[in-house]
Structure 1
Amino acid sequence: MTTTPVLRTERLTIRDWSTDDAEAALGIYGAQEVARWLTPEMRVVTDVEAMRSVLAAWVEAQPNLVPPAGRWAVVRESDGALIGGLSLRLLPPFEEDFELNWQLDPRAWGHGYATEAGRALVGWAFEQGVEELFAVARPKNARAIATARRLGMEWVGETEKYYNTRLQVFRIRPSQRGA
Structure 2
Amino acid sequence: MSLELPTDRLLIREWELGDAEDALKIYGADEVAHWLTPEWHPVNETDAMRSVLHAWIEAGPNLIPPAGRWAIVRRQDGQLVGGLSLKLLPPFEEDFELSWALRPDVWGRGYATEASRAVIAWAFEQGIEEVFAVARPRNERAIAVARRLGMEWVGETEKYYDMRLQVFRLRPG
TM-score, normalised via structure 2 length: 0.99
Structure 1 vs Structure 2 CA RMSD: 0.6
Give 1:138 shift.
Answer: 0.1
Matched residue type, 2:140: A
Structure 1 segment 17-32 matched on structure 2, within 5 A: 17-32=15-30
Runs of 4+ aligned structure 1 residues displaced above 2 Å come to none
Query: What is the CA-CA distance between 1:42 and the residue it aligns to?
Result: 1.0
The correspondence of residues 136-175 of structure 1 with structure 2, limited to 5 A, is: 136-175=134-173
Q: CA deviation at 1:110?
A: 0.5
% identical equivalent positions: 71
- Hey, what does 2:101 align to over in structure 1? 103
- After superposition, give the CA deviation of every residue in 1:10-35 in whole Å (9 maximum; x if it has no partner): 00000000110000000000000000
> Unmatched 5+ residue regions in structure 1?
none
Q: Secondary structure at the match of 1:75?
A: strand
Unpaired runs of at least 5, structure 2: none
Q: 1:132 aligns with which of 130, 133, 137?
A: 130
SS, match of residue 153 in structure 2? strand
Match of 2:58 in 1: 60
Give the C-alpha shift of residue 44 in structure 1. 1.5
Show the counterpart of 1:93.
91
- Partner AA of 1:21 in structure 2: D
Give the TM-score normalised by the residue count of structure 1. Answer: 0.96
Distance 2:125 2:39 in 1: 29
Give the secondary-structure state (helix, strand or coil) at the position aligned to 1:174.
coil
Q: Distance in 1 between matches of 2:41 and 2:144?
A: 24
The aligned residue for residue 45 of structure 2 is 47
**Cα distance in 1, alignment partners of residues 158 and 70 from structure 2:** 27
Match of 1:78 among 76, 79, 83: 76
| Count of aligned pairs between the two proteins | 173
